[in-house]
Amino acid sequence: MSLTIADLLKGEKAIIKHFVAKNIPLKLIEMGCIEGNSVELVQRAPLKDPLYLNINGTYLAIRKEIAAQISIEKL
Amino acid sequence: MSDRLKVALIGNPNTGKTSLFNILTGLNQKVGNYPGITVDKKVGTTKLSAKVKADVIDLPGSYSLNPSSLDEDIAVKVLSDKQNANYPNVVVVVADVENLKRNLLLYTQVKDLGIPTILAINMEDQMKARGITIDTETLEKDLETKIALISSKRNKGIYKLKELILNYQQLSLEPCFKSFESLLDKRDDQAKQQKHRETIKRYQFLTSVLNKSYGIDKSQVKDLRSRLDAVLTHHIAGYIIFFAILFFIFQGLFSWTEGPMDFIDASFASLSEWIKNILPDGAFTNLLAEGVIPGIGGVVIFIPQIAFLFLFLSVLEESGYMSRVVFLMDRVMKKYGLSGKSVVPLISGTACAIPAIMAARNIESWKERLITILVTPFTTCSARIPVYAIIISLVIPNESVLGGLINLQGLTLMLLYLLGFATAIFAAYILDKVLKIQSKSYFVIEMPDYKLPLLKNVFYHVVEKTKAFVFEAGKIILAISILLWVLASYGPGEGFNNAEEIVKKEYAELPSDELQTKIASYKLENSYIGILGKSIEPIIRPLGYDWKIGIALITSFAAREVFVGTLATIYSVGSEEEISIKNKMKKEVHPTTMKPVYNFASGISLLLFYAFAMQCMSTVAIVKRETNSWKWPMIQLVGMTIFAYVSALAAFQFLK
């Protein structure tokens, strides 16, 4: 199993590698979650969920279950 | 109307689109409904030049034309259908200068629809601080459009924008992408794949365009965000700050609004008095003085609380803090079928369920939003307080326990508040299990930059929401209060029509003012509503109530706080001083059991009934408006009433 956004530690950056479009909200894709874009874990909420991300300059939060659908390559 | 220009504003949330709308239209704006749906439609007029006026429509904030919420659906409906009454002559896409690429995604989609499209790049004032440079001419050429650099905060570039709108016929209608088939109304997985690929292509295009004309020097960015986030979303400090803010809001909501609310109450009372004095006696005068005016008063009295609540919410929203609360609370709420975004309605519900239910709109999952709407009325709203206060004072001893540490009456009130929250959460949990609604919770929330709220935006927001409450809920409250007045003022047959003679015969020796109140209560007993009260007595007897409480239950069906007033009338207490009602209530003896009507068992039963029953016409009305069907408010009404009945029944039968 490859690494996903859910595996990122606070402050870590990575490149988005792959995801299956039907498993994640289209809104997320439109906000810049696209293969090749950078992603940084800004912060985790207290109970480890949701995740506060910086995707290519857009700051947003998503739930862990979605984050686990998006595989990455750490920088 | 038709020879005027129609201009539509569209843009991502948090781009200052609404600020621009406020600048263009000022107070010449109104909120309506799109036919058949509950999303607010904001339209206004603006003067483009000395001669030309335009209707401006503020489309809901959208990230794209692939709708993922009710609000975003609207933009698509308006822009993709030339027959739509709101179809514009020209669209202004408002974009945030800092996140231009993402904002331009929406631009390319709008442009592809073949409508003249202008690009307004907002927050021009931020460019220097953020080290941003834009080559407008090159960008205009590559995007085949005209660009206005504006600052809605500093009111800059508006003139240029108006000029561009006036000359919209010179705009190119060439789409950015010719090859994409229209996927606007397709939602299956295959269409999603296609939209995914399409989005990637659009981004590739935008990246190559922006490489030529857009520069950002990241070293210039001073990071207010990370410093504030470190505290505000901290796993301990974050919650402490959140609860401190909540506490502050509650304080404000109850203590600062007390003065204005008392003033409104008194004003309407004297208005009624005045009407009675200047108009000749008669049914019309009574309807006005006892039905219509108190009815309007019942709406107006909530204005201070609602305005305050929206003031607080608007400031929290505008500053960017609300997204952090949602972020902090999501995990906790998710367990119960709610969303982090449900926190706002649940908190607001302690003031009044009406604005609270309206605040549930931000929740993108229909199921989570519906559950939020359905459970919000369980939270202890301010209208329950007068009911709780009088019953607690009757049946709970005013004693302290634990060495004077805890007052039993205060403890009971606090328990009732907790009971409200707990029931809401519990009901959400059940509904989550029961409701078979397929709606994937695609929780995505943008975490916007922190910024100081613009006074103007806050002001418009408060005015708009308060107006919506007054007119939408007001109509219903007014209608019900008139109906109640009629039912209480007329009755069939001898008992009602000859009340005066009957009472005078029986109590001939009483002084005249006491006689009057006796007559009034006799009339009420024989009025339509009195008869109704008696007819429901068999149903409510197992709960420990008599027919008089039955009347109060019926009249307070429109609004809980009516309970106390009705009992005051029934027990023929002329003045509304609570102490005297209380004494009368204390003396009430059940005709069959010869026990006090208000004893511990029936009191607890009443408290539970009011904690759980819907008993609020305005909430029914707003739920109808927000869910756009009678189905959900009816389910809610019946469900809550049954739950209330069963709980009250169990409590009374167990305790008696």
Residue-by-residue DSSP string for B489-517: H---HHHHHTHHHHHHHHTTTS-HHHHHH
B132-134 and B214-216: which strand pairing? Answer: antiparallel
User: How many residues would you count in chain A?
Assistant: 75
Give the DSSP per-residue string, B564-613: HHHHHHHTT-SS--HHHHHHHHHH-B-TTT-SBSS-HHHHHHHHHHHHHS
Q: In the CATH scheme, what architecture does the domain B5-220 have?
A: 3-Layer(aba) Sandwich (3.40)
Closest of B326, B305, B323 to residue B462, by C-alpha: B305
Nearest CA in chain A to B103: A31
- Helix ranges (H only) for B233-257 are 237-251
Percent residues over pLDDT 70 in chain B? 90
pLDDT at position B107 over 80:
yes
Most confident by average pLDDT, B504-518, B570-584, B607-621: B607-621
- Nearest by CB to residue B102, choosing from A31, A42, A62, is A31
The residue assigned the tokens 């904030």 is B61
Give B293 or B577, the one with higher predicted confidence: B293
CA distance A67 to chain B (A): 11
Mutate to test the interface with B, among A29, A55, A60 (most CBs of B within 10 A): A29
CATH number of A5-74: 2.30.30.90
The arrangement of strands across the sheet holding A71-74 comes to A71-74, A13-18, A38-44, A51-55, A58-62, B444-446
Q: Does any CB of chain B come closer than 8 Å to the CB of residue A15?
A: no
Closest of B564, B549, B560 to residue B619, by C-alpha: B560
**CB-based contacts of B276: which residues, under 8 Å, 6+ apart?**
B285, B289
Q: Per the CB < 8 Å rule, is A26 touching B192?
A: yes
Res. B220 pLDDT band, cuts 50 70 90: low
DSSP state of A74: E
B5-11 and B90-96: which strand pairing? Answer: parallel
Res. B651 pLDDT band, cuts 50 70 90: very high
Angle in degrees, CA B314, B320, B324, rounded to 5: 110
Q: Enumerate the β-bridge partners of residue B446.
A: A60
pLDDT at position B179 over 90:
no
Mean predicted confidence (pLDDT) in A35-63: 91
Res. B422 pLDDT band, cuts 50 70 90: very high
Q: Does any CB of chain A come closer than 8 Å to the CB of residue B335?
A: no
pLDDT at position B573 over 60:
no
Per residue in B365-421, pLDDT (tens digit) is 788 999 999 999 999 887 787 788 888 888 888 888 777 777 888 888 888 988 998
Q: Predicted ipTM?
A: 0.94
Mean predicted confidence (pLDDT) in B615-634: 88
Per residue in B277-326, pLDDT (tens digit) is 898 888 788 788 777 777 777 678 778 877 887 788 788 888 989 889 99
Buried b / exposed e along B161-171 (16+ C-beta atoms within 10 A): bbebbbebeeb
Phi, psi torsion values for B46, nearest 5 degrees: -140, 155
Q: Which residues of B touch A49 (CB under 8 A)?
A: 330-331, 334
Q: Enumerate the β-bridge partners of residue B42.
A: B31, B58
Res. B173 pLDDT band, cuts 50 70 90: confident
Closest of B590, B316, B640, B613 to residue B451, by C-alpha: B316
How confident is the model at residue B70, as a pLDDT?
64
pLDDT at position B650 over 60:
yes
CA distance B416 to B410: 10
Q: Quick one: B234 exposed, middle or buried, by C-beta within 10 A (0-12, 13-18, 19+)?
A: middle
Average pLDDT, chain B: 83
Q: Per the CB < 8 Å rule, is A30 touching B66?
A: yes
Res. B581 pLDDT band, cuts 50 70 90: low
Cis amide prior to B596 (ω within 30 degrees): no
Name the residue ranges covered by the structural domains of chain B.
5-220, 475-655
Mutate to test the interface with A, among B101, B334, B443 (most CBs of A within 10 A): B443
